[in-house]
Chains A and B, each alone.
Chain A
């Protein structure tokens, strides 16, 4: 049973608008959450992270929000650009074993020019 879930397989937005990608998790054993971006035929690359003691982290056009009571996090991209078109994976780190990460199934973002 997946412990990190991304329920939207795909998302399409217009260039310049906001993209919101969502991620849910099922238990409290995670202490860090990360977002990775993946282009076709490449490995995932790190985008942004947030620790479980914070509720927001911002890096340029990318902001991650964490709602611990709802066990939900979201990635906001503002403004969206065509180069942001990729698959986005949410990942969570096990607080009892820093070497174990759990990934969601990914959301494919398409930013239309």
Chain B
């Protein structure tokens, strides 16, 4: 059981270049999300999706694009990379939240480290 798979693990971009971070999960989770981790800031939510065809913005969505065409995949696109987007990116998935009967626990991928020069 692979869980959440992210590719690539490392990427170096020049300012203005575009790229896509891939995320795939094999747990049939409805919910998928992207976070970025920066020193002293913790993990911040970029975009999330509650199912195929449905996406919404998180705390820091600017400069990023997402789409959800299948349950398994949730790619994150950087249309014109900027140095401020240098970060470690984590994809996470879970089943939907169930109120106070249980927290929806996130399963994370191993991360993608992106450097924008």
Contact = CB atoms under 8 A, between A and B. Distances in A.
Interface of A: 2, 4, 6, 9, 31-32, 34, 36, 41-46, 49, 51-53, 89, 91, 93, 98-106
Contacts of A102: 45, 59
Q: Which of A43, A49, A91 has the most CB of B within 10 A?
A: A43
A44 B90 CA distance: 9
**The 8 A-B residue pairs with the shortest CB-CB distance in the complex, in nearest-first order:** A98-B97, A43-B108, A103-B43, A32-B103, A103-B42, A105-B42, A46-B105, A49-B103
B104 interface: yes
Interface of B: 4, 31, 33, 35, 40-45, 48, 50, 56, 58-59, 90, 92, 96-100, 103-111
Contacts of A2: 41-42
Contacts of A46: 105-107
Contacts of B109: 43
A42 B106 CA distance: 14
A53 B100 contact: yes
Nearest to B39: A105
B5 to A, nearest CB: 11
A101 B33 CA distance: 10
Contacts of A42: 110-111
Nearest to B43: A103
Contact of B104 (A9, A43, A53, A98): A98
B97 A51 contact: no
A42 B37 CA distance: 13
Nearest to A34: B103
Contacts of A4: 42
24 contacts: A2-B42, A4-B42, A6-B42, A9-B40, A31-B100, A32-B103, A43-B90, A43-B92, A44-B43, A44-B90, A45-B108, A46-B106, A49-B103, A49-B105, A89-B42, A89-B43, A98-B99, A99-B96, A99-B104, A101-B106, A102-B45, A103-B35, A103-B43, A106-B42
Contacts of B92: 43
Contact of A100 (B58, B90, B100): B58
